[in-house]
Chain A
């Protein structure tokens, strides 16, 4: 079969192992990256192959052991001062180099903002297939290919995507859709120091970085979320949600419509264009329950809906629902919590 002359000829049979790229955040392995390691473990056991982890950065060698505890059999480490700063082209070339050198059949990268930025660059260097924002994976029974399963068309449909004849098959996956694997201090593995031959990032220079004060804890880590939508009617509606969240030890989040209206910041948006959350308890207040929103709360254990519209789709997708005016219901909930606190 003739292939595009821009593509290197490869032998897919030579590619074995499932890799996860581990993002480093403030000197430790990011939760999102560890979740990829968990997925890699599952896929590797179905394929009867090894799990590889990749670490790129300056001083990242010290994290290699940690990667083994979380499930890696082999850790490929590119620890070099050249990688002190992240640039999409630089990290993209380094990861592509390692994939060319060690030939894994699949590569998983967490779809954090950086992950979504540099992974398509890796795929393009290798002229291989990339599937974005996977929410599950399948191993094809006949061909043994790994398929990425992802929502498409505004989360109305799920597409099962296969990479034919090109390796590694590359996937990004939404943070928090998959669980973080257990740490096992008894696990053993091999640490492989590497030296990717890449040119320094050309034409791009980081001048400065300023963290924005995140007053509240990130929503993806919250156990309880009180989330507001268009039905709040205004920014002031969040005041009562904040009070409720405080009383029950939760955090406040919002729907896309609340973010679009400027009532809450994008980093607190739940849904397909925001974040997937894994809270134990989720209050959807004045949120109608569009498919894109439901997509973000699939992993929530208990959904409570409060909405004045009895026909809102959220009521077909909740565990408990109260139909009514949130300005009456939420204060009543606060009162009920206080009452129980006092009596116990």
Chain B
């Protein structure tokens, strides 16, 4: 098929939450020294986009809205094979909630030619799963979450399979549209050095600020965000009995435990 699709993939450069530690004294997150990664869910969106492009032709552009350090994430995306990348960055965009973030991203994406937008299912740091739906709303395009498989049918149409709690659903979508890729779809490809070298070429990674986008300051960053974090606190520990033993006689311990659970009324035998 020589018809091709221009695909935009939204990614987020996030602290690796599996290595985060908490300072028990001050009660804050220890972020220093925590390496950042491309949000693992977005890796699946990238893979889906690149696989579609490889099969049907077209282009893949990775987009992120973030502080300048997120350039590393875009370099990784280009290294995986994205044709282009755009870093949307401006102090005016700081403190944005999902409404302001999706607005800014939507305005940036509108400057690109696209048939399909792919996003990850959610992010591992804030886990809202909002941005996909909100982008679709700003851009007035149809969208679906939890996509496990997608094919281009030609004629501006796609076949999409998605998975809900108890069912698979198949859809026909008319492009332009937005899809959120499910996790565990396929293993995301690795970075190739030959691809990554392209980052040095002019125009491969573009940086857009608010001079480029020209957005109203009331619509972006903290000002464009209806929600604020009033405070953060720790997860309160659930009170538990904590009766722990390392039994020498396992059968005896097992009988003790089972009769205890029966007595407590948790087990009916």
Contact call B168/A324, Cβ cutoff below 8 A: no
Interface string of A106-120 (1 = CB under 8 A from B): 000000111011111
> A118-B133, A209-B169, A302-B266 given as contacts; is B250 within 8 A of A332 (CB)?
yes
Contact call B169/A208, Cβ cutoff below 8 A: yes
Which of A133, A140, A281, A324 meets B247, CB within 8 Å? A324
Q: Is B241 an interface residue (CB 8 A)?
A: yes
Contact call B230/A160, Cβ cutoff below 8 A: yes
Q: Which residues of B contact A125 (CB under 8 A)?
A: 137
**How many interface residues does A have (CB within 8 Å)?**
100
Contact call B235/A155, Cβ cutoff below 8 A: yes
Contact call A302/B264, Cβ cutoff below 8 A: yes
A129 to B124, CA, bound (A): 20
A280 CB, min distance to chain B CBs, angstroms: 5
Chief secondary structure at chain B's binding surface? mixed
Which of A152, A201, A294, A328 meets B142, CB within 8 Å? A201
> A132-B128, A304-B257, A321-B242 given as contacts; is B229 within 8 A of A205 (CB)?
no
Contact call A88/B143, Cβ cutoff below 8 A: yes
Q: Which residues of A contact B255 (CB under 8 A)?
A: 336, 339-340
**How many interface residues does B have (CB within 8 Å)?**
87
Q: Is A186 an interface residue (CB 8 A)?
A: no
B181 CB, min distance to chain A CBs, angstroms: 13
Query: Which residue among B18, B237, B242 has the maximum number of chain A CB atoms within 10 Å of its CB?
Result: B242
Contact call A4/B235, Cβ cutoff below 8 A: no
Chief secondary structure at chain A's binding surface? mixed
Q: Is A203 an interface residue (CB 8 A)?
A: yes
Interface string of A312-326 (1 = CB under 8 A from B): 000111111111100
Query: Which residue among A2, A267, A333 has the maximum number of chain B CB atoms within 10 Å of its CB?
Result: A333
Contact call B97/A129, Cβ cutoff below 8 A: yes
Q: A residues within 8 Å of B by Cβ?
A: 2-6, 87-89, 92, 112-114, 116-121, 123-125, 127-133, 140, 147, 151-166, 201-212, 214, 224, 248-249, 260, 266-267, 272-273, 280-281, 291, 294-295, 298, 301-305, 310, 315-324, 328-329, 332-333, 335-337, 339-341, 344
Q: A266-B184, A318-B244 are in contact. List 13 more A-B contacts (CB 8 A).
A: A3-B218, A5-B216, A112-B165, A117-B145, A127-B99, A127-B226, A156-B29, A161-B228, A162-B230, A209-B168, A319-B242, A322-B247, A336-B251
Closest 10 CB pairs of A and B: A321-B244, A154-B17, A129-B226, A332-B254, A129-B227, A4-B219, A124-B137, A203-B174, A120-B133, A323-B246
